[in-house]
Chains A and B, each alone.
Chain A
Amino acid sequence: MLWLSIVVDKACTQIWDARDSGKPVASLRVSPAVYDAVAAARPGEVARDCPLMLLGLPLVADHGVGTYDPVVC
């Protein structure tokens, strides 16, 4: 089973850490598996051509990112 709860926890922690350091955050890079899971969970938004977003950030599929190692950038 894919545990998005782990991905979201790590990403949210990174967002707060970035804010603490005054760094801007613009997007959330995730593995294609995570991206696909989010897309599958939100068929309505995909059908309406809305960008996939998580924690208020646009989601970007990145083959260089591990399943449980999202990157806020």
Chain B
Amino acid sequence: MLTAEENEALCRVGPGTPMGKVLRRYWTPAFQLSDLPEPDCPPIRVTVLGESFVAFRDSRGRLGFLDELCCHRGASLTLGRVEDCGIRCLYHGWKYAVDGTILETPNLATSTFRERVKHGAYPVREAGGLGWVYLGPPGAEPPFPAFAWAGAAPDELAVSEMIMDCNWMQVLEGSIDSSHVAILHLDTLATMGSGPRSVGSFEFAGEPWDLDMQVPSGGSGWPSDDNAPRIEVENTPFGFHYAAIRDVTGDPGKKFVRVTAFVMPYTAFIGGSSGAVIVVPRDDYTCSSIGVFTVPKGAGGAAAAQRARRGIDPAVWGPEPGNRRLRLPRQDREAMAAGKSFAGFRGGNRVQDAAVQMSSGKLYDRAKEHLVPADLAIIRLRRLLADSIRLVEAGQDPVGLGEGCDFARIGAASQVIDAGAAWQDLVPAHRGIREPAARSAR
């Protein structure tokens, strides 16, 4: 639980807020590169961390990420013309370069103003199908999180974005919440062929119900009936990683381990999947849940979007950011009552997750919750964010900036191993970049 004041501090992200100051110290994935496919294509409006920007690709293919409103009279540059290495405001024709240089002021003949003033412009980089921006103090950019898929070709990546109508922390916490997986996602496990399972006294037959569902690839299935995983967490220079450890049904000599790595402040590499889920606040009441998954060459990009339309509202995959707002499908109460479905939502894990996360309201009051020890990863996340707020307020760096960290080696795992084996051996690349004490509370 959190006090109301603490909850506000962790959840609100606008300029000048405690968490807003923290998040602006990291690189933030703000838009999909597929939205700016070629030089001089139409610009897009981007809302991130409670502010609005315009992103565009100039005649030379360079990305620009500028304050949205023209600094003359405040018209939106998203209406502007992208031409001749700049973006021109429609209102009075002021023109800006990707670095914020004011190139032309047609209704101001003298050059003094444009020589002395620059429009708000922010560093932007392209990686993993996403445009990443740095919105913090100039010159204090942290190491860029070049994950393993940062340089992957578009046809080797499946990138999706769901805009969700709730505060980002509700979604972020869900991305590292292990103990819900074998409960909320029973329908997914059924599609994966896990068979009958129970939740408390409820016996679920486990027959596949949502046949169009995309199921996680990789991993070793779900060989456990244990709904109360043991959680072990270790802090790392990039944030933390943790293991959810479950008994293996019928084999006391083994344990089922899912290792998740959390990279401050947005990204979770989830055990059993081929990529990551990135949760970015758009403002205090909406966020983007971005999935970036590696796929065999030729299966990504538009092909992946086409396949993923099965079972998911096509609007999620539409080209316009405004069309990515998640619309939950009808909950199938008949299938639930008949025992065919547990949750009643078609569309797979991310739709099921979104349903419960948004059901808590626009901004959940965590004073009301009752955490349990199985929530340790969520608890640790909040701790690191709280520590970061205190550090930044004291004029220091937030945690997990990743100095000296090879982001490309960060990953996840899902596997059955010997009961006496160390789960850390499943993520050997993390060895040497993790701090020594297990579950250490700094």
Contact = CB atoms under 8 A, between A and B. Distances in A.
A40 B367 CA distance: 9
A26 interface: no
B21 interface: no
Given A13-B376, A16-B376, A41 B3 contact: yes
Contacts of B390: 3
Contacts, number: 74
B332 interface: no
A5 B379 contact: yes
Interface in B371-398: 371-373, 375-376, 379-380, 382-383, 385-387, 390
A65 interface: no
Q: Is the interface of A mostly helix, strand, loop or mixed?
A: helix
Chain B, interface SS category: helix
Nearest to B380: A9
Interface centre among A6, A12, A15, A40 (most CB of B within 10 A): A12
Interface in A9-65: 9-10, 12-13, 15-17, 19, 37-38, 40-42, 53-56
Specify which of A2, A41, A54 lies most central, judged by the most chain B CB atoms within 10 Å of its CB: A41
Contacts of B367: 41-42
B231 interface: yes
Interface stretch (B4-12, B33-41, B96-104): B4-12
Nearest to B393: A1
A12 B386 contact: no
A4 interface: yes
B421 interface: no
Interface residues of A, number: 24
A10 B441 contact: yes
A16 B439 contact: yes
A3 B5 CA distance: 9
A5 B373 contact: no
A8 interface: yes
Given A1-B5, A38-B1, A54-B1, A9 B383 contact: yes
A16 B9 contact: no
Contacts of B232: 16
Contacts of B375: 12
B117 interface: no
A56 B372 contact: yes
B5 A53 contact: no
B373 A12 contact: yes
Max chain A Cβ within 10 angstroms of own Cβ: one of B230, B231, B386: B386
Contacts of A4: 1-3, 6
The interface centre, meaning the residue of A3, A5, A12, A56 with most chain B CB atoms within 10 A of its CB, is A5
B255 to A, nearest CB: 14
B368 interface: yes
B73 interface: no
Nearest to A1: B5
Contacts of A6: 383, 386-387
Contact of A3 (B6, B371, B441): B6
Nearest to A57: B373
Contacts of B379: 5, 8-9, 12
Nearest to B375: A12
Contact of B371 (A8, A19, A41, A42): A8
B441 A5 contact: no
A15 B373 contact: yes
A41 B350 CA distance: 31
A47 to B, nearest CB: 14
A56 B382 contact: no
A2 B3 contact: yes
